[in-house]
């Protein structure tokens, strides 16, 4: 039996798959080791919503029977994982991170979890999240019934929202990969803060059936992993048409980077102001090093900027309006007062009063955003910017704290890329690119719709030239 050290707990999916096939350990041993580690250390980071150890071990024994007969189902067979607690799992609590839903149990399992199960991947636990995925807006990292998501690199700092537990669990080596969700930054942020790789898929590529809705026109499910390659392997399994999701793009995804353009043939648009003014001073050296690594790939860097549009305000209006419709029964009941964050309670109540004309106006301007951003890809193939402009904030600090102490740059550059990308439904890949005062920072690559293979090819090339995704925090 193998000794389960950090070399295993921080291994990539491909590495674990190779060792499983080589019979260095069984799926049962691997799943048990990760499940026990998640139970032991998950609460340390407020990352664990619900352990599923017993069911996981039973499933792992079934996988071992398949492996013994050499029935191989792909790279994820026998690999344990965690899932954000907005994904339903039949017969088990799905809390959405919020006390009013603490006893909520569904009789169906989310499509993405069903698809992973069919490949032999093993769910070992539901992972904590910001309550209602941040619906209504929140001011405190503690806006969750599980407490504030704590960063594995420094537990006084935030792991990022709203997929806080997913970021912490992968960052601390408690799961090889996890599923998160993004409406306006909730995969990119925890991936960046926790030093791991996160992929936001194109809107509609991954089914949301069985996931808590926040914004019907912006919600997306995606993987948080150790590497870009891992993200591709997971996306291949969870993507695909689903008639149970009205927003399904009815497209499949196959991870085939070998058939896509090499980095030297790519044009990458970036705004220097993002890296030398918008970025926090302590993070600028890491971002400059990341730019140098991108140049070394042979890709052509082209200066560009986003059109001057109110991306943040548009995203906020749409999410609040659609979220108010989803959560109206909660908002109009006394149970809303059970939420942990007073600002979120007030935000949800106020969202019911947003006029239809404001929502419709935001949706019309959103069409302009989609057209303007789409036109940028006539000049470049990928947009590049920091995922976040600095490292994780302190847990004690308000999450909506503005820039301090430096003044806001006059040139907007691509500072609104997270909201712009989400409004346009575009894919994005967050890649660790260094440290600022001992905390991870990251860059994001954004491409046109359904360009995931291009982003992953570039991401993989970046990660062959750097080792930031291989760095490990001290856990224990």
CA distances from 46 to 6, 126, 150 (A): 21, 12, 6
User: What is the predicted pLDDT for the residue at 406?
Assistant: 74
Q: Write the CA distances from 465 to 323, 410, 473, integer angstroms.
A: 42, 34, 21
Structure tokens at 223: 């993987």
pLDDT of residue 39: 98
Cα torsion 333, 337, 339, 342: sign: positive
Q: What is the pTM (predicted TM-score) of this model?
A: 0.97
Cα dist from 221 to 157, 182, 187, 203, whole Å = 25, 6, 9, 9
Catalytic residue among 159, 162, 181, 215: 162
Catalytic residue among 164, 186, 419, 430: 186
Per CATH, domain 1-476 is 3.40.50.10800 = no
Domains of the chain, by residue range, sit at: 1-476
Q: How many other C-beta atoms can be found within 10 angstroms of the C-beta atom of residue 141? A: 28
Is 248 an active-site residue? Answer: no
* C-alpha radius of gyration, the chain, whole number: 21
Active site annotation includes 168? no
DSSP H helical ranges for 22-163: 27-41, 53-68, 111-118
Rounded CA gap, 128 and 96, in Å? Answer: 8
- What are the pLDDT tens digits along the chain (476 aa)? 578 999 999 999 999 999 999 999 999 999 999 999 999 999 999 999 999 999 999 999 999 999 999 999 999 999 999 999 999 999 999 999 999 999 999 999 999 999 999 999 999 999 999 999 999 999 999 999 999 999 999 999 999 999 999 999 999 999 999 999 999 999 999 999 999 999 999 999 999 999 999 999 999 999 999 999 999 999 999 999 999 999 999 999 999 988 888 899 999 999 999 999 999 999 999 999 999 999 999 999 999 999 999 999 999 999 999 999 999 999 999 999 999 999 999 999 999 999 999 999 999 999 999 999 999 999 999 999 999 999 999 999 999 876 666 788 999 999 999 999 999 999 999 999 999 999 999 999 999 999 999 999 999 999 999 999 999 999 97
Distance (Å) of CA 215 to CA 133, 140, 294, 335: 10, 21, 34, 21
Cβ-proximal residues to 178 (8 Å cutoff; 6+ apart), any chain: 81, 82, 83, 84, 127, 163, 165, 166, 167, 169, 170, 223, 224, 225
Q: Going edge to edge, which strands form the sheet with 267-270?
A: 48-51, 122-127, 80-84, 178-182, 220-225, 197-200, 428-436, 439-446, 382-386, 267-270, 300-303
Q: How many CA atoms, within 13 angstroms, populate the side-chain half-sphere of residue 176?
A: 28
Partners of 440 in beta bridges: 435
Q: What is d(CA 331, CA 259) in angstroms, rounded to the nearest whole number?
A: 49
The answer to whether 283 and 436 have CB atoms below 8 angstroms apart is yes
Burial of 452 per CB tally in 10 Å (0-12, 13-18, 19+): buried
| C-alpha distances in Å from residue 123, one per residue of 60, 119, 187, 297 | 10, 12, 19, 37
Residue 139 neighbours by CB distance under 10 Å: 17
Q: Which of 84, 126, 220, 460 is catalytic?
A: 84
Burial label for 364, CB within 10 Å (0-12, 13-18, 19+), is exposed
Residues in Cβ contact with 54 at an 8 Å cutoff, skipping those fewer than 6 apart = none
Q: Which distant-in-sequence residues (6+ apart) come within 8 Å of 95 by Cβ?
A: 49, 85, 101, 102, 104, 145
Closest of 308, 278, 312 to residue 421, by C-alpha: 312
Q: Report the Cα 219 to chain-centroid distance in Å.
A: 12
226 CB neighbour count, 10 Å cutoff = 26
119, 70 contact by CB (below 8 A)? no
Q: Give the whole-angstrom CA distance, residue 144 versus residue 131.
A: 5
Does residue 162 have an active-site annotation?
Answer: yes
Question: Strands 428-436 and 197-200, how do they pair?
Answer: antiparallel
- Tell me the C-alpha distance between 347 and 90, whole Å: 31
Please give the backbone phi and psi of residue 248, each rounded to the nearest 5 degrees, phi first: -60, 135
- Helix 27-41 / helix 13-21 crossing angle, nearest 10 deg: 140
Element (H, E) at 303: strand 300-303
Give the Cα separation of 450 and 203 in Å (integer): 9
CA distance 387 to 414: 11
């Amino acid at each position: 039996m193998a000794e389960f050290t950090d070399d295993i707990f921080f291994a990539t999916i491909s590495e674990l798959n190779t060792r499983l096939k080589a019979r260095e350990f069984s799926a049962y041993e691997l799943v048990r080791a990760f499940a026990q580690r998640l139970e032991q250390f998950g609460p340390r980071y407020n990352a664990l919503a619900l352990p599923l150890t017993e069911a996981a071990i039973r499933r792992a024994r079934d996988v071992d029977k398949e492996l013994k007969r050499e029935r191989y189902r792909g790279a994820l067979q026998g690999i344990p994982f965690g899932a954000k607690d907005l994904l339903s799992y039949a017969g088990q609590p799905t809390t959405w991170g919020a006390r009013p839903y603490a006893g909520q149990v569904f009789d169906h399992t989310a499509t993405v979890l069903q698809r992973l199960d069919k490949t032999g991947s093993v769910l070992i636990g539901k992972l904590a999240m910001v309550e209602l995925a941040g619906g209504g807006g929140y001011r405190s990292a503690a806006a969750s019934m599980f407490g504030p998501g704590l960063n594995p690199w420094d537990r006084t700092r935030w792991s990022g929202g709203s997929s806080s537990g997913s970021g912490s669990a992968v960052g601390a080596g408690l799961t090889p990969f996890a599923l998160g969700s993004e409406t306006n930054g909730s995969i990119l942020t925890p991936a960046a803060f926790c030093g791991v790789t996160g992929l936001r898929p194109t809107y509609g590529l991954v089914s949301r059936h069985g996931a808590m809705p926040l914004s019907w026109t912006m919600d997306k499910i995606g993987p948080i992993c150790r590497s870009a390659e891992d993200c591709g392997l997971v996306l291949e399994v969870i993507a695909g048409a689903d008639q149970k999701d009205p927003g399904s793009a009815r497209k499949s995804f196959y991870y085939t980077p070998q058939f896509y353009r090499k980095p030297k043939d790519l044009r990458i648009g970036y705004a220097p102001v993002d890296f030398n003014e918008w970025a926090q001073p302590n993070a600028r050296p890491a971002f400059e090093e990341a730019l140098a690594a991108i140049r070394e790939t042979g890709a052509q860097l082209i200066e560009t900027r986003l059109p001057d549009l109110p991306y943040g305000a548009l995203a906020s209006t749409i999410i609040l309006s659609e979220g108010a419709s989803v959560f109206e029964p909660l908002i109009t009941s006394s149970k809303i007062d059970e939420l942990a964050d007073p600002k979120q309670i007030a935000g949800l109540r106020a969202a019911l009063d947003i006029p239809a004309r404001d929502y419709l106006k935001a949706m019309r301007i959103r069409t302009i955003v989609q057209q303007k951003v789409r036109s940028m890809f006539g000049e470049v193939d990928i947009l590049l910017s920091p995922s976040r402009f600095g490292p994780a904030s302190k847990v004690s600090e308000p999450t909506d704290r503005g820039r301090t102490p430096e003044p806001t740059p006059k040139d907007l550059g691509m500072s609104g890329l997270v909201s712009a990308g989400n409004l346009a439904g575009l894919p994005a890949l967050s890649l660790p690119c260094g440290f600022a005062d001992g905390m991870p920072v990251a860059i994001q690559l954004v491409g046109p719709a359904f360009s995931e293979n291009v982003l992953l090819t570039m991401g993989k090339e970046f990660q062959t030239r750097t080792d930031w995704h291989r760095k490990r925090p001290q856990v224990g």
